[in-house]
Amino acid sequence: MASPGLIYAVYNSLSPRFVPMIEYRIENRVATITLNRPDKKNALNPAMVQALNQAVEDAMANDEVRALVLAAHGDVFSAGADLESLQAMQSWTEDEQRQDSLRLAKLYQRLYSGPKPVIAMVQGHALAGGCGLVSVCDWVFTVPEARFAYTEAAIGFVPAMVSVFLCRKMGEGHARPLLLNAARITAAKALECGLVYRIVEQETLAATVNEFVQQLIKLNSGNSLALTKKLLSQNSGQALEQAMINAIDVNVEARQSEPCRRGVAAFLNKEPLNW
């Protein structure tokens, strides 16, 4: 089990220079996962995706963790796929290509469908796969200067995996113009179309996110958030009848849970409740 402020050594071993590609810290019930390749604009390569997968999986399974924050060092949140790695992959077999794609898809799915809320703290541009990471988070806080884009088409590539989640999150009408155009959009435009939750000045970004996360985990039952995320993931795109069956199942599960009994009793007894 991780202790507060710990950077897992296992992630160090993924870098040939023994510099951690990501940092993973747990403090005040929040796991902060920080991209740490600022010299490469936090570009994603297979080792970094593997490290992120492991960190997210650990955080989702850790009972001490109530929420995840995805952050980055440097001026850019993430420029997307490491193009040198992408070029090297062109000589891979179809099976190798498929397995690598599966790792990125699992990362997106763990963030999107995992039982704990995920907040992105975007301090700079989020492009291509970096914008994909942002897209699967539950809340996105960003600075006014940041730009967002799915730039894959500009190099003959496709924003394939993220398209599945983006259409679920904001609807095809909003997703299509973003996915079909590599042009960058402003933070204000990203807020308007629902990709971003809030725009914050750089100097107050970290404090604002921390305040938001602490309020979130104190005011809301972790079990309720987990069940809601589960339901939202299940029901997107489902026929009405099946969606209602899923909703009934989750409703029954919530009513029978210990957190619900505790919450209702505290409310009726006018007792303070701190989750």
CATH number at residue 145: 3.90.226.10
Residue 61: CB partners within 8 Å, gap ≥ 6?
none
Domain count within the chain:
2
- Give yes or no: residues 166 and 73 share one domain: yes
- Give yes or no: residues 226 and 188 share one domain: no
Annotated catalytic residue, options 94, 152, 241, 258? 152
Among 217, 208, 220, 206, smallest CA distance to 28 is for 217
Q: Give pLDDT tens digits along the chain (275 positions).
A: 444 444 443 344 344 445 689 999 999 999 999 999 999 999 999 999 999 999 999 999 999 999 999 999 999 999 988 878 777 777 778 888 888 888 999 999 999 999 999 999 999 999 999 999 999 999 999 999 999 999 988 888 889 889 999 988 888 889 999 999 999 999 999 999 999 999 999 999 999 999 999 999 999 998 889 999 988 888 777 677 777 777 777 767 777 778 767 767 776 677 777 77
On whether the CB atoms of residues 187 and 196 are closer than 8 A, the answer is yes
Backbone angles phi, psi at 230, to 5 degrees: -60, -45
Q: Which residue has the tokens 């898809």?
A: 105
- Does some domain include residue 273? no
The angle formed by the CA atoms of residues 173, 174 and 177, to the nearest 5 degrees, is 90
pLDDT score of 13? 38
pLDDT score of 157? 84
- Give yes or no: residues 82 and 192 share one domain: yes
What is the sign of the dihedral through the CA atoms of 58, 62, 68 and 69? negative
Give the whole-angstrom CA distance, residue 78 versus residue 70.
11
- Give yes or no: residues 252 and 205 share one domain: no
Other CB atoms within 10 A of residue 183 CB: 12
- Give yes or no: residues 166 and 119 share one domain: yes
- Give yes or no: residues 192 and 230 share one domain: no
- Does some domain include residue 231? yes
Q: In what order do the strands lie in the sheet with 22-27?
A: 22-27, 30-35, 67-72, 118-122, 139-142, 198-199
- Does some domain include residue 189? yes
On whether the CB atoms of residues 208 and 266 are closer than 8 A, the answer is no
- Does some domain include residue 2? no
Token pair of 155 as six digits: 């190099």
Answer yes or no: pTM beyond 0.75. yes
- Give yes or no: residues 109 and 90 share one domain: yes
- Give yes or no: residues 57 and 32 share one domain: yes
pLDDT score of 16? 41
* Domain that residue 243 falls in: 222-268
Q: What is the mean pLDDT of the chain?
A: 86
- Does some domain include residue 4? no
- Does some domain include residue 192? yes
User: Domain ends where: 197, 219, 241?
Assistant: 219
What is the sign of the dihedral through the CA atoms of 21, 161, 217 and 249? negative
Give the whole-angstrom CA distance, residue 81 versus residue 63.
32
- Give yes or no: residues 153 and 127 share one domain: yes
Give the whole-angstrom CA distance, residue 30 versus residue 69.
7
Strand residue runs (E) in the chain? 22-27, 30-35, 67-72, 118-122, 126-127, 139-142, 147-149, 185-186, 198-199
pLDDT score of 256? 75
- Give yes or no: residues 134 and 238 share one domain: no
Known active-site residue 64: no
- Does some domain include residue 275? no
pLDDT score of 246? 72
- Give yes or no: residues 171 and 146 share one domain: yes
